[in-house]
Amino acid sequence: MAAVESQHSNRSPVIGYVLALTAAVLFGINAGMTRVPLRSGTDVTTFTSVRITGAMVLVVLIALVVDRTALRPPSWREVPLVVGLGVVGIVGLQGLYNVAIDRLPLGIALLLEYTGPVLVVLWVRFGRREPVHRRVWPALLLTLVGLAVVGQVWSGLAFDGLGVVMALGAAVCLAAYFLLGEDGRVSAEPLRYFVWALVAAAVLMTVVRPAWTATELGVQASMLGRLDAFSVPAWSAMTATIVLGTVAPFFLLLLALRALPAVVVSVVAMLEPVVATIVGWAWFSESLSPLQVGGVLAVLAGIVLAQTARRRVIDPALPPTT
């Protein structure tokens, strides 16, 4: 344990910020990329199954090349943590969010999902009884107000009840992924836990809807928006979603949690809807008003305030949290 603590203490917070920011950017860009296979005829459940199963296969291959010890099966004591990361943090987050964006305006769904960092702070403060700096509360308020402005929540007041429940459920799953990823065992072996979390997620999705039923991925798919004149095989867009929109950002978040506490990483990750809004403007000609630009700046300001809000440095031996 001492070796793990020493290893953790030597990790640079700057690297953690870079990893978390990169993950948020990739997730934001992927919000646009996922539209290509989805609008070519692939339903949400099949899309989720292919995405998770493909990610699992890719990560297992990576482990075979770079670190075969990552393929060591989890012990019975580790199974709850693995299942939590895979079923709640990966399947739950993606599945619930996909339902939410199908029933709610995108900006509203994103705003509700990204109340997850608020849940992280509340759990750290009241569940773990850890002190947090008072600036975290105005930081989170500023960030949520900024997200509300970016999503222009006032333009869609007729909320679908099930959509709201699904988006809030996605927020819980997002918070769980951050908190579980902060566990010291995950920090010590992030690739191993990522492999087995994806295995758990892929097994569940295979039961729900096997990935090999995705026959629609063989068609040509429009690149949509400003790129509508171009088309690609739907499977190639799906591949980009698996590699750059799933494997890379989820694993980068786990690496970021080795250097930064979940409170900080979760707030930095709130850049995702900001990036998605910019992608919507650049790719799909969705307008970005001056007021929305102000919302982007508010989100950035909230992130800066929240970076130093947690008083206690990350403990590599934190118990699993769900």
Q: What angle do CA 129, 97, 90 make, to 5 degrees?
A: 65
322 residues of the chain, pLDDT tens digit each: 333 333 444 567 889 899 999 999 998 898 889 889 988 888 889 999 999 999 999 999 999 998 899 999 999 999 999 999 999 999 999 888 878 877 776 667 777 787 887 788 788 888 888 877 788 788 888 888 887 887 777 765 445 778 878 988 998 998 898 888 888 888 788 889 999 999 999 999 999 999 999 988 989 999 988 999 999 999 999 999 999 998 999 889 888 888 888 778 877 887 888 888 788 888 988 777 788 788 878 887 887 777 656 554 443 332 222 2
Cα dihedral across residues 257, 260, 264, 265: positive or negative: negative
Residue type, 152: Q
Confidence (pLDDT) at 5 = 39
Confidence (pLDDT) at 105 = 67
List all residues 6 or more positions away from 285 whose beta carbon is below 8 Å from its beta carbon.
225, 226
Confidence (pLDDT) at 3 = 38
Q: How far apart are the first and last CA of the chain?
A: 23
pTM of the predicted structure, to 2 decimals: 0.79
Grouping H, G, I as helix, E, B as strand and the rest as coil, residue 125 is helix
Confidence (pLDDT) at 193 = 92
Confidence (pLDDT) at 6 = 39
Give the up-direction half-sphere exposure of residue 225: CA atoms within 13 A in the CB hemisphere: 15
Confidence (pLDDT) at 308 = 59
List all residues 6 or more positions away from 278 whose beta carbon is below 8 Å from its beta carbon.
28, 288, 296
Q: With b meaning 16 or more CB within 10 Å and e meaning fewer, what string describes 87-123?
A: bbbbbbbbbbbbbbbebbbbbbbbbbbbbbbbbbbeb
DSSP assignments along 218-278, one per residue: GSEEE--GGGTT-EEEHHHHHHHHHIIIIIHHHHHHHHHTTTS-HHHHHHHTTHHHHHHHH
Residue type, 317: A
